[in-house]
Amino acid sequence: MNLPLSEGLIAEANARELYALEDEYAALGRKLSRTGIDIDAIKDRVASFSVAVPSWGAGRGGTRFAKFPISGEPTNIHEKLEDCAVVNQLCRATPRVSTHFPWDKVSDYKALREEAAELGLSFDAVNSNTFQDQPGQPYSYSSGSLSSTVEAVRQQAVEHNIECIEIGRQLGSRDLTVWVGDGTNFPGQQDLVRSLDRYLEAASQVYVALPDDWRMLLEHKMFEPAFYSTVVSDWGSSILAAQELGPQAKCLVDLGHHAPNVNIEQIVARLHRFGKLGGFHFNDSKYGDDDLDSGSINPHQLFLVFNELVEAELNPLGGFNPSYMIDQSHNVTDPIESMLSSAEAITQCYAKALLVDRSALHAAQEANDTMMAFQALRRAYTIDVAPILAKVRVEAGGAIDVLSVYRSSKWRDRKAQQRKAVGLGAGIV
């Protein structure tokens, strides 16, 4: 393996922090043991948690209006993998990268898989793209893709998804995530029933191309780029589509793809109840699909989502193996720093959810003791789990203080000398 940052740099920085960390970890361990919790057992479960990062998250995103690139930003999948490897080397919680096609196209996927392995990475879900046109593409997706009224357009979108599966097989992926931008901007623009019929018929052609051990993850989104209606608009449409397609079709919940103030943790619980929760995209939101950094606006909601995910883990109902991924647009930060900070926020909420006294919670729920049920959650949420996460990182070879080590590595400055500049232009949404 050939990791991008100097191991000596990380070890030296850790050595300066280690005494304080051991002291804080021991104090937290004593506090938790008074309520019957073994901190080392929690630490082991946190160590086995991971979340994928998206290849596109390594670049500066943008809004519909503009993108402001930074020097040293990655310009191709090879450079993106390097940056993802920096994130994982420091935080040790993001060992998989989710690819997106055609953005990450290369001529040799076997070689790409080896290149990733050399950086300590493997590949997560493959994401298809039928929401924008590519140069030389025979048909436009301007009026939809899998739900288009034009058969040749639907066929082109089906073939692209099947090509993504083929690429994913070579990369070692086992999930195809399908989000379509299909929808309408005007009442009456399309028939709301027939457009869903066309989507289901085309999606079933993708479904039958799935290898037996693959899943098709359907990602719904309420609006944008279509602003009146979208074909797979909400978790209701998503679960109905997944049920119609078959057992390998599951629903993927993106935190930003709902109506404002929707109870997302309840959606998680519902989808799990019917065996259809396949994946989760982490980000945060103030107004809509803002794609802000995870936990930056509403960390309590993130905790409540993890509370349901941990319940699902403990009660798998015949199978629970969700694909977790960070899905954010880093418009004003160094993407590596945002992914480090987000991986920390996500893992913190997982750790806090593990600290919930489940028997006290369930007993209070059964007895209709509202306040004690709420307090079971509140007690766990208010515990500072930072020492557990830092201990997990340091034991896996990562950094205690990820951001400070990243900055002292001068990675971005060095890459600014080596990488070609990214052009200005519109952002990705």
**Binding of Mn ion by 344 (CB under 5 A):** no
**Binding of Mn ion by 254 (CB under 5 A):** yes
Nearer to Mn ion, 109 or 179 (CB): 179
Q: Cis before residue 260, ω within 30 degrees of 0?
A: no
Q: Sheet harboring 53-54: ordered strands across?
A: 53-54, 96-101, 122-128, 175-178, 215-219, 249-254, 277-282, 323-326
In 3D, which of 216, 186, 188, 187 has the Cα closest to residue 202? Answer: 216
Among the candidate windows 3-11, 69-77, 275-283, 287-295, which touches Mn ion by CB under 5 A? 275-283
Cα distances (angstroms) measured from residue 99 to each of 103, 123, 128? 8, 7, 9
Pairing of strands 229-230, 183-184: antiparallel
* Among the listed residues 281, 330, 393, 415, the single contact to Mn ion using CB under 5 A: 281
What is the Cβ-side half-sphere exposure of residue 146, based on CA atoms within 13 angstroms?
28
What does the alpha-carbon distance between residue 191 and residue 231 come to, in Å, rounded to a whole number?
A: 10
Among the candidate windows 10-18, 121-129, 234-242, 321-329, which touches Mn ion by CB under 5 A? 321-329
Contact (Cβ atoms closer than 8 angstroms) between residue 180 and residue 282: no
What does the alpha-carbon distance between residue 157 and residue 148 come to, in Å, rounded to a whole number?
A: 9
Among the candidate windows 166-174, 248-256, 346-354, 377-385, which touches Mn ion by CB under 5 A? 248-256
Nearer to Mn ion, 119 or 203 (CB): 203
* Among the listed residues 73, 83, 327, 344, the single contact to Mn ion using CB under 5 A: 327
**Binding of Mn ion by 290 (CB under 5 A):** no
Nearer to Mn ion, 25 or 123 (CB): 123
Nearer to Mn ion, 232 or 377 (CB): 232
Shortest Cβ distance from residue 316 to Mn ion (Å)? Answer: 24
Residue 322 CA to its chain's centroid (Å): 11
Shortest Cβ distance from residue 168 to Mn ion (Å)? Answer: 17
Which residues of this chain interact with Mn ion, rule CB under 5 A?
Answer: 254, 281, 327
